[in-house]
Amino acid sequence: MSQFDSLIIGEVAQDTNVDYDGTTVQAVGGAVYYSGFAAANIGHKTAVLPKADTSQIDMAAAFAPAPNVTVYPLHSKTSFVTKNVYHTPDRERRTSTVDSMIEPYRPEEVPAIDAAIWHLAGLVGGDIPNEMIPFAAKHAMVAIDVQTMLRCVENGGMVYHDWAEKKELLPYVRFLKTDAAEAEILTGLTDRAEAAKVLYSWGAKEILITHNTEVLVYDGHEIYTCPIKARNLSGRTGRGDTTFAGYINERLTNDIPTSLRFATALVSLKMETPGPFRGTRQDVQDYLREFY
């Protein structure tokens, strides 16, 4: 058995989030942050490899409230500093600007960490280079949030471009996560189920696509879906990170329908409160009984 269920690789972010009503909050963020809290608080042994300017961010302190998290901080001369402005109450539309980015991860700086899954959770293109994917596949099952390949910083703004090497590298990927918009960029298809089938045909073994109404999974045999039932969206930031971390860690011991229901209940509950998921596994089980 591996020492950790998952190792999450990605930079922490210094976020400024501006809601559609003008409410402004400054916080630590990033996929590694939301994913780490989600995985740990539902009971999984979690390692994180966050990267930032360690003179500016105490990464051990950032993850300290989460149980079961072991932090392996990496220093970068610069941190990822961003501002997200949400334009609608459902937080589906946002404008992101980036002031600075980290120095890219390099395979040689990744310590030998024994984990069942290596979860690549970068934020923009270049922070986790393509070469990290086959490198990770030598050590564990690879899970990747494709935002780290599609989101690009141009003139301080965030834009999306297709991933040129997708067909070469998707065969290394055990778990692939996209949202509906990212799936369309990759495949040209607006139908999420059909997009998932194309991504499977290109080599990814299990595809998870998030949407504001549901979460979809495809494993090459069957399309599975589960509805999101959040009663408010005050904690919308981190939706995909929470879902994906919950799902892949649950898949270590459960089948797809069970893992999907748990991950969707987890993110529905998380979205009702700003910040990362700070509840417990029992809280998610109670939510499942009440709403599912």
What pLDDT shows up at residue 84?
82
**Pairwise CA distance, residues 292 & 289, whole Å:** 6
For 155-167, b where at least 16 C-beta lie within 10 A, e where not — what string?
A: eeebeeeebeebe
Q: What angle do CA 72, 77, 80 make, to 5 degrees?
A: 75
What pLDDT shows up at residue 96?
81
What pLDDT shows up at residue 99?
87
Token code pair at residue 12 = 């922490």
- How far apart, in Å, are the Cα atoms of 103 and each of 11, 27, 50, 74, 76? 10, 21, 12, 10, 6
Q: How far out from the chain centre does Cα 55 lie?
A: 25
**Pairwise CA distance, residues 52 & 63, whole Å:** 14
DSSP 8-state code for residue 30: -
Mean pLDDT, contiguous 10-residue spans, the chain (292 residues): 93 88 87 98 98 92 92 95 85 82 96 96 95 98 97 89 98 98 98 98 98 96 97 90 98 98 98 95 98 96
**Pairwise CA distance, residues 119 & 28, whole Å:** 19
In order of their start, the domains of the chain are 4-291 (3.40.1190.20)
Contact 46, 40 (CB under 8 A): yes
